[in-house]
Amino acid sequence: MIKGSIVALITPFHEDGSVNFEKLGELLEWHIASGTDGILVLGTTGESTTMSHEEDEAVVAYTLQKVNHRVPVIAGSGSNDTRTMLEKSKRYAELGADALLVITPYYNKANEEGMIRHFTTVADQVSIPLILYNVPGRTGCSLSVSAVERLSKHPNICGIKEASGNISYAVSISRFVNDDFALYSGNDDMIVPILSLGGSGVISVLANTNPKETHDLVQAWFDGDQAKSLHLQQEYLDYIHALFCEVNPIPVKEALNLMGKEVGGYRLPLYPMADANKEKLINEMKKAGLL
């Protein structure tokens, strides 16, 4: 069971759009040194939707080699095609990933039984745990509460990244949290509310630019200092909102570049920020002490 701040890591690119592995290595070392508790590669923030299967595998392999068991590594192996998700999941398990993040079947969506079998087909055939990923704003579909209840009982499904932004839904599925099924916040503006429901931490965009602060926010809660945890949540709230003033990961990559991290640009259809939104981001970064 992974607890704490898990960074939903960006994928750095060269000017020609290819993966910048040297920069990826620098980011990984920075996160480990800053107290990040786990690394997620190939999530939404990692732009895996515009990367080839070969690039995805190379990123997972490189990350595992670089991290070398110092912190857990989660690989995003999700797809709207169950067969593809199974193939990628098996491969990342062979490479040595500690867990897999698997998303609901976007676009084709599926009925309730199809949704459940989308996940159990993989969970039945891989040797490492699965974390479900519920983000209806991206996928156009959501896991029902009853589906989460059924899936939480599978011995190889260890948790859910809840990114609906719906606190009522989060409360409903928090009833299934136990020693074998964890709840992770998928929204940086809801870390403390999810922790209060028995959450195990956050899979975070904020941690890309603020690894230590995001770790400290979660750790303070686990240490019993809820006041400090809430203070940090509120202190960074405006900056968190600025990180989502355009579609993720455009603002967070822009923020890292402004910090001098030189992580590169994006692949279409992602495109650099509008000037007004960039100005808003810069202002909030200054307030947060990042510039």
Catalytic residues: 133, 161
How far is the C-alpha of 52 from the C-alpha of 4, rounded, in Å? 30
For 194, 232, 273, the CA distances from 213, given in Å and listed in that order, are: 17, 8, 25
- The amino acid at residue 164 is S
* Residue 48 · residue 11 · CB < 8 Å: yes
Tell me the Cα Rg of the chain.
18
Q: In the chain, at which residue ranges do the beta strands (DSSP E only) sit? A: 4-8, 38-41, 73-76, 99-103, 130-134, 157-162, 182-185, 201-204
* Residue 259 · residue 243 · CB < 8 Å: no
How far is the C-alpha of 158 from the C-alpha of 174, rounded, in Å? 13
Q: Which of 214, 240, 254 is nearest to 38 (CA)?
A: 214
Q: Which of 85, 90, 117 is nearest to 102 (CA)?
A: 85
Measured at the CA of 289, the angle between CA 285 and CA 291, to 5 degrees, comes to 60
Collect all residues with Cβ–Cβ distance below 8 Å to 175 and sequence separation of at least 6. 149
